[in-house]
Amino acid sequence: MIRMLVLTTLILLGRTVQAAPVSGEFASIDGGTLSIDDWRGQPVLVVNTASHCGFTGQYAALQKVYEIYSDRGLVVLAVPSDSFNQELGSAEEVKEFCELNYDLTLPMTDITPVKGAEAHPFYKAVETQTGFVPRWNFNKILLDTEGAVVATYGANVKPDSPKLLRQVESLLR
């Protein structure tokens, strides 16, 4: 009886619980849609952004990470948001700002709420699964190749930080 209990406990402790994939379709800043599901098989770094934030300079690092890792499969998705009252008035203004100041070529959504009752369904799903809600602009959500959340980072973690890039590289192997 004790042996069976120990064996059952070891089996249970040895299992890993795989988070369910999250999905979401976003309006693209370029028109049309961007779907997390279209990127299955690739890791995705989702970052809520804003043009008038103390962290806006992180756009440069996001573009750099995108340029370095996109050939290996990483998708970097910028999600401009006015949830913290620091975004420009229209998607056109955001697109122009990002192109002129940061020469961004990574995929971007239209201006999208990321918290509260109006939060995009992707962010609601992430909150339901992980409890994570962006507390400011430039929070990051890293999805594995199946679309499951593997890590979340606050605004203070830069897109090119060794900690974040180690996670990205582990997903690209």
Q: How far is CA 68 from CA 63, 65, 75, 120, in A?
A: 9, 5, 11, 29
> Can you give the C-alpha Rg of the chain in angstroms?
18
Angle (CA) 157-165-54 rounded to 5° is 25
Q: Tokens 């070891």 identify what position?
A: 10
DSSP letter assigned to residue 41: T
**Quick check: is 53 catalytic?**
yes
Cα 128 from Cα 133, distance rounded (Å): 9
130 CB neighbour count, 10 Å cutoff: 16
Q: Which of 34, 45, 47, 53 is catalytic?
A: 53
Cα 60 from Cα 41, distance rounded (Å): 26
Active-site positions read 53
